Chain A
Amino acid sequence: MKSNIASLLLVGGLTAALNVSAFEPSKPSCIAPAKPGGGFDITCRILSTGFANAGITDIPMAVTFMPGGVGAVAYNYINSSAPDDPNKLVAFSSGSLLNLAQGKFGKDLDENDARWVGTAGVDYGAIMVRADAPWNTLSELVDDIKKDPSAFVLGAGGGVGSQDWMKAAILMKSTGVDPKKMRYVAYEGGGEASAALLGGHIKVYPGDVGEIKGLVESGKVKILAIMSPERLKGDFANYPTAIEQGYDAEWTILRGYYLGPKVSDEAYNYWTAQFQKAYKSPAFEKVIVDQNLVPFNMSGEALDGYIKERVAFMRGLAQEAGLTN
């Protein structure tokens, strides 16, 4: 009898053990929470092409679009309609996290309502002025700003409270100027903002490194500082960071993916393992670099912890800047 029960248990245990490794995605898809063509679209394409090129899944991954509120619509959709669907990965960015931190994803939802699973890569802020502007270093610019902060027009591709605004606010804060005094002009996307810089309507444009390669190559703008923790490699290796120049202005734009909050551990671990496999593949890395992002490998619980820490940090920033109470 006893051995029977034992073998039953054993069989049961084995099946359970098999189940752990037995999660197989069926019709996996990546939800890009924006219209086609933007950063979220790229994030999802990195996942679908990257995984395919690296030979990680033989099932093609579809990309679907669910625009609205820098990811708010998709976040609400996942939480209300598919919290346990293991086949739906949703793209997010630091912009989504920032809105999450300000409670702009809905009153009842916060960073604990998703399982953060993997990353696509990071991009960094870059402080740009027109090529014929009088400033050649960040400190020259800052000296001028300090003289009369309210006469200085900064502009970028997002509204007040967006991450484009945040880059400007962080720059101001690092110079000791109250971000509330900053004169900020909100444009619709980086394209309009760079046009405004070239046209001389704004003086400083904190953009993203990944978007500005063409602009910089055209010789019409100059980069005064990159908002990365350390110097970048490759094309942008010659530009100093803000930190190097003595200003604590760092802004990392993280791009990655989350699963619904009630997705099983098996599925979560499965996807974590896939990301870890991908990070080892040169083919996956190439896809990331081709999209002008810098690889930033973090997955599973480590990422989950990191995200929660970032959101808490952003919540603090938003309060300081007077965005939330």
Chain B
Amino acid sequence: MDILHYLSIGFSVALTPLNLGLVLAGCFIGTLIGSLPGIGPINGVAILLPLAYSVGLPPESALILLAGVYYGAEYGGRISSILLNVPGDAGAIMTTLDGYPMAKRGEAGRALALSAVSSFFGSIGALLLMVIFAPLLSKLAIQFGPSEYVWLMIFAFTCLATMVGKRPIKTVVGVVIGLLFATVGIDSGTGILRFTMDIPNLFDGVDFLVVVIGMFAISEVLVLLESWARNDLKLTPVGKSFVSFADLMAVKWVVLRSTLSGFLIGVLPGTGASIASAVAYGTEKRFAEGHDDKFGEGDIRGLAAPEAANNAAAAGSMLPMLTLGIPGSGTTAILLGALLMFNVTPGPLLFEQQPNIAWGLIASMFVGNIALLVLNLPMIGVFVRLLSIKQSYLVPVIVMLTFVGIYSIHGDSFDLFFMIVLGIFAFILRKLGFSLAPVILGLVLGEVLEENLRRALSISGGDWSILLNGTMTYVLAFATAAALFAPKLLKILKK
């Protein structure tokens, strides 16, 4: 009953006209920011934070606004992924894999609607989990040590090994290229600069967003230019498709599973929406294997899984921030900074001492997600029109947006050149039949894997047995083995 009581306090905060207006504004701005390539939730929140502070909003209202931008961006990121094959933010990379092929088939409307609904259920599901299991999960999240992270990453790699394309070798090569990128920068275990070539911009490693935008957006532009030169530019058929009830029924378990895994991965500090969507996609692909597997060619399950997962992860990452004061992602780190600026100290006491802030935020997230769904569904018609724009106009606009977006991260022209080089490299890879997502995942997962493996080994003093130590490591190791061998075993059993 306690929860209901607190939730009612929360809704009384969230439904005041001011906060309702802020939620709507935040969600709208977030969707816009998320849909622009290069600019993600972290930029949006960082831009609005000083504004919220100087206007003199009360802390709960400021937080409601900023959180709205955060999860609004997770909705927006899918739009350019589906329509242009350019992920709008890091969590939307996997969305390109099946979203873009759908749009090419003329089903952009269906893809956008289905992903909006999946996003919605991902968020709402995660919120419910958060309300019910908050105290338990925040305890569990900190139990998750380096060894557990190592297994989680190995599990993700295993799921992805057969991820895209018919040629697994090319996927593996792609992952290795990503791993190579992940090794650049100061090695935290020894403090030594690796592969930085004395370029200070590389000291912190290759920026993830620069790689994503360079490889996806710039290479996409090059592909468009190529077909323009050959004079075989085809306008993507717009079509009037929309999501059907049968579609929703077909993905209901996919969404449920992805929400659960996305939420749990979001709760863990250090892993966010990009890893959550990759794991969800990989898992679903494994599940679907054998029977009518069209992943990578516009399968609705491949679209629903990452979208449900990235939104669930965004909600999940709020949990350790609110309950422990530990940010689970870059964006929540800024939100945490915002709380501290308002002299609100997050921690277990926050829920009891200042229920209007903690529960007001949670209630506003329910409201915000409903608003986002209502906002997004009717606008699909408008978004889809984007495809009817002639490429000769669209391409320069994409290029401009990516340049502005990337420049805004570091304020340094090095990233722009680097992005172009990566774009050309990615274009060559595409011509050779490689898929780009494995490269990006190699980069993200590889970094987390290496860091945690090194941590585990420095804790144990080089003793590898630390990797199998505790229930959670056994569970994850078993899941990895299952993902690796289950499809083969099933085949044998069927015979």
Contacts and interface: CB of A to CB of B under 8 A. Distances in A.
B326 A191 contact: yes
Interface in A257-314: 290-292
B187 A159 contact: yes
A35 B330 contact: yes
Contacts of A104: 186, 193, 203
B345 interface: yes
A110 to B, nearest CB: 14
B119 to A, nearest CB: 25
A175 B336 CA distance: 35
Contacts of B334: 36-37
Given A106-B200, A161-B191, A217 B347 contact: yes
Interface string A42-62: 100100000000000000000
B224 to A, nearest CB: 31
B471 interface: no
B412 A218 contact: no
Nearest to A157: B188
Contacts of B42: 35-37
Contact of A72 (B45, B203, B455): B203
B410 A65 contact: yes
A192 B327 CA distance: 8
A198 B45 CA distance: 28
Interface stretch (A115-123, A136-144, A181-189, A246-254): A181-189
A185 B410 contact: no
Interface in B245-276: 269-270
A116 to B, nearest CB: 20
A162 B333 CA distance: 20
A153 interface: yes
A307 to B, nearest CB: 20
Interface residues of B, number: 54
Interface in B442-495: 451, 454-455, 458-459, 461
B203 A201 contact: no
A66 B410 contact: yes
Contact of B349 (A162, A202, A218): A218
Choose among A35, A37, A73, A200 the residue with the greatest number of B CB atoms under 10 Å from its CB: A37
A200 B143 CA distance: 7
B455 A187 contact: yes
B81 to A, nearest CB: 23
B325 A69 contact: no
A107 interface: yes
21 contacts: A35-B330, A36-B49, A37-B333, A37-B334, A38-B333, A41-B337, A45-B50, A66-B412, A68-B200, A68-B201, A69-B186, A72-B203, A102-B191, A106-B198, A153-B458, A186-B189, A192-B269, A199-B142, A199-B143, A201-B455, A217-B349
Report, nearest first, the 5 A-B pairs whose CB atoms are least far apart.
A159-B188, A161-B191, A36-B46, A69-B203, A199-B142
Interface of B: 42-43, 45-46, 49-50, 141-146, 186-191, 193, 198, 200-201, 203-204, 269-270, 320, 324-327, 330, 333-334, 336-337, 340-341, 343, 345-349, 409-412, 451, 454-455, 458-459, 461
Given A77-B412, A220-B348, 13 more contacts: A37-B330, A63-B50, A66-B412, A159-B189, A160-B190, A183-B461, A186-B454, A195-B269, A195-B324, A199-B143, A199-B144, A215-B347, A323-B191
